Amino acid sequence: MAAAVPNLRFGCAQINHLTFRTNESGIAGFGRGPLSLPSQLKVARFSHCFTTIVEGKPSPVFLGTLDNLQAQATGQIKATPFVPNPRSPLYYLSLKGITVGKTRLPFNASVFALKADGSGGTFTDTGTALTSFPEAVLEALRKAFVSQVPLPVEEGENICFSTSQNKKLPAVPKLIFHLEGADWDLPRENYMLDIDNEDGSGQLCLMIVSSGEGSSRTTIGNFQQQNMHIVYDLEANMMFFVPARCDKL
């Protein structure tokens, strides 16, 4: 159904500080700011469902409805409240902790919480590729994976293991984000990437990085959101999410 929207504001620029690929023509803001697309369209709900990144298929976005949340769902619908932050248009969540395999990392919720001065906190960002954690959390994550993945560890900033294309890869430990009211149990392909090299060698890499020296914030990026139908219900101040076949929606 078509709809006319008067006084819709948008901008064009020739000099940008963002990196666009050849199949990308711009960016649409979906934050809480007055110029974001949901704000200008006056919709109380919107959702997205990112298809697998390596396949390059289109990803659907829905405005103003929750009716299709169960369509193509492959798991249970879960919900977690947003954390208010008047200093930012971003969508903050209450992250309580992280589990790798059967090991809960030794951090309480205060490490991931939004601070009184507006620093820190945990938010989702569809424009950021990889999830990032404060350095201390990333180091604990590294130790947990190294102790549970029976592969040689590679040197470098990224958490990668050496593999061979001729050998079957071992099982990797589960990765769970414990949010307020819901556990986000990530499927393997949403946090591990298999890389095959021409010489027959390869890497198995954890697609999570540091949020930067001295940074206390946590960002949940779009790699971790693949094949997950995520609904932002601004009226209820809740985020709903469910595993789904996004390319079928």
The pLDDT, as a whole number, for residue 168 is 85
> Which CATH number is 197's domain given?
2.40.70.10
3-state SS assignment for residue 145: helix
CA 85/CA 92 separation, integer angstroms: 7
Residue 223 pLDDT:
96
pLDDT tens per residue, range 129-185: 999 999 999 999 999 999 999 999 998 889 999 998 777 888 999 999 999 999 999
Which runs of consecutive H residues, i.e. helices, occur in the chain? 37-41, 135-148
Q: Do the beta carbons of residue 172 and residue 192 sit within 8 Å?
A: yes
> Strands across the sheet with 201-206, in order?
159-164, 201-206, 192-196
Residue 134 maps to a domain? yes
Mean pLDDT of 229-243: 97
Cβ proximity of 93 and 180 under 8 Å = yes
Structural domain contains residue 4: no
Tally of domains in the chain: 1
> Is the residue at 136 inside a domain?
yes
Query: Does residue 6 lie in a domain region?
Result: no
Mean pLDDT of 211-226: 96
Does residue 123 sit within a domain?
yes
Q: Where are the beta strands (DSSP E) in 106-210?
A: 122-124, 131-133, 159-164, 175-179, 182-186, 192-196, 201-206, 208-210
Q: Which two tokens stand for residue 16?
A: 């940008």
> Residue 191 domain-assigned?
yes
Q: How confident is the model at residue 19 (pLDDT cuts 50, 70, 90)?
A: low
Task: Determine the structural domain holding residue 53 and report its residue range.
Answer: 37-248
User: Within 10 A of 100 (CB to CB), how many other CB atoms are there?
Assistant: 23
- The reported pTM is 0.91
Does any domain span residue 7? no
